[in-house]
Amino acid sequence: MIDAILPSWVASAEKFGDAPEETLFPEERPFISRAVDRRRREFVTGRHCARLALARIGVTPAPIPRGERGAPVWPAGTVGSITHCSGYRAAAVAPADVARAVGIDAEPHEPLPDEVLPTIASPEEIAALRVMGEADGAVCWDRILFSAKESVYKVWFPLAGRWLDFSEAVVDIEPSGTFRARLLVADPAIGTNDLPGRWTVSDRLIATSIALPRP
Ligand SMILES: CC(C)(COP(=O)(O)OP(=O)(O)OC[C@H]1O[C@@H](n2cnc3c(N)ncnc32)[C@H](O)[C@@H]1OP(=O)(O)O)[C@@H](O)C(=O)NCCC(=O)NCCS
């Protein structure tokens, strides 16, 4: 699913089940030492997918620690992103001389809880979702918007190293499977205010991605 919305210069791996905990590196175990079963499984399988994806770009299996504010610390010379939700885990990676950043996000294909939408979307974004819902009521456009903003953050944070609020990016979704995120704050490390992305849905899942090439 994730591969279909990534460019050819990004490698990915996904799983609909879970990998055994033995696949973790000893250095990674402290990050889940006090975690509940659900968290252990998503962390383990996210790392497993990351190593499968890294192998596809020729990187020997290595630990991927949790870094600042939870961002994965990728092996030198690589960039990437991990996502997990119920029944799905995925990772996407690229050589750092090819890509500046990659962000992926997966969500259940379900409407957002009513109280969440106004906290992650502007009135203009909500109005655009309403129009799309009238044209195609089978797609949970609000969840795509949320997922797109999560992908924005996963590209933003490793480059900018700071928080980005949901109100600081405006996302325009195209029904054809793309979106554009317009950043309302500038950061020299990002170097652009315009982040193009892609989305896909299945009956059960939504996935979004942003891949920033190195010029
Ligand atoms: C960090 C965040 C984006 C994760 O998204 P999520 O939908 O909750 O969860 P996902 O399963 O898709 O992703 C979790 C993975 O994201 C990665 N991640 C966590 N923090 C990260 C960060 N600061 N930067 C990049 N990646 C991060 C990790 O790999 C994590 O999995 P792991 O802990 O097992 O390694 C989200 O929890 C968050 O804090 N959002 C608020 C910020 C935001 O989205 N702003 C909107 C800007 S428009």
Q: Is the CB of 64 under 6 A from ligand 1?
A: no
121 and 92 belong to one structural domain: no
- What pLDDT is recorded for position 215? 87
pLDDT greater than 90 at residue 93: yes
User: What atom in ligand 1 is closest to the CA of residue 66?
Assistant: 35
Domain boundary among 46, 77, 104: 104
9 and 66 belong to one structural domain: yes
Q: Is the CB of 40 under 6 A from ligand 1?
A: no
117 and 81 belong to one structural domain: no
38 and 113 belong to one structural domain: no
User: Rounded mean pLDDT of 114-141?
Assistant: 97
Strands 178-183 and 194-201: antiparallel
Is the distance from CB of 106 to CB of 12 less than 8 angstroms?
Answer: no
What is the number of domains present in the chain?
A: 2
Distance 154 CA to ligand 1 centre (A): 6
Query: Could you tell me if residue 204 is inside a domain?
Result: no
Distances (CA, A) of 153 to 34, 128, 168: 26, 21, 10
pLDDT greater than 90 at residue 58: yes
Q: Is the CB of 130 under 6 A from ligand 1?
A: no
Q: How far apart are CA 43 and CA 100, in angstroms?
A: 24
Query: Could you tell me if residue 80 is inside a domain?
Result: yes
Mean pLDDT, the chain, integer: 97
Query: Could you tell me if residue 42 is inside a domain?
Result: yes
Tell the residue nearest (CA) to atom 14 of ligand 1. Answer: 83
User: Rounded mean pLDDT of 11-34?
Assistant: 97
Query: Could you tell me if residue 87 is inside a domain?
Result: yes
CATH code for the domain in which residue 33 is found: 3.90.470.20
pLDDT greater than 90 at residue 208: yes
Residue 83 marked as a ligand binder: yes
- What pLDDT is recorded for position 203? 84
Give the list of residues 6+ apart from residue 188 with CB closer than 8 angstroms, or none: none
Domain boundary among 52, 70, 104: 104
- What pLDDT is recorded for position 107? 98
| Band of pLDDT at residue 49, cut at 50, 70 and 90 | very high
71 and 147 belong to one structural domain: no
pLDDT greater than 90 at residue 122: yes
Q: How far apart are CA 150 and CA 75, in angstroms?
A: 22
23 and 76 belong to one structural domain: yes
Task: Report the residue among 21, 112, 150, 179 best suited for mutation to probe ligand 1: largest number of ligand atoms under 8 A from its CB.
Answer: 150
Task: Look up the domain containing 12 and give its range.
Answer: 3-104
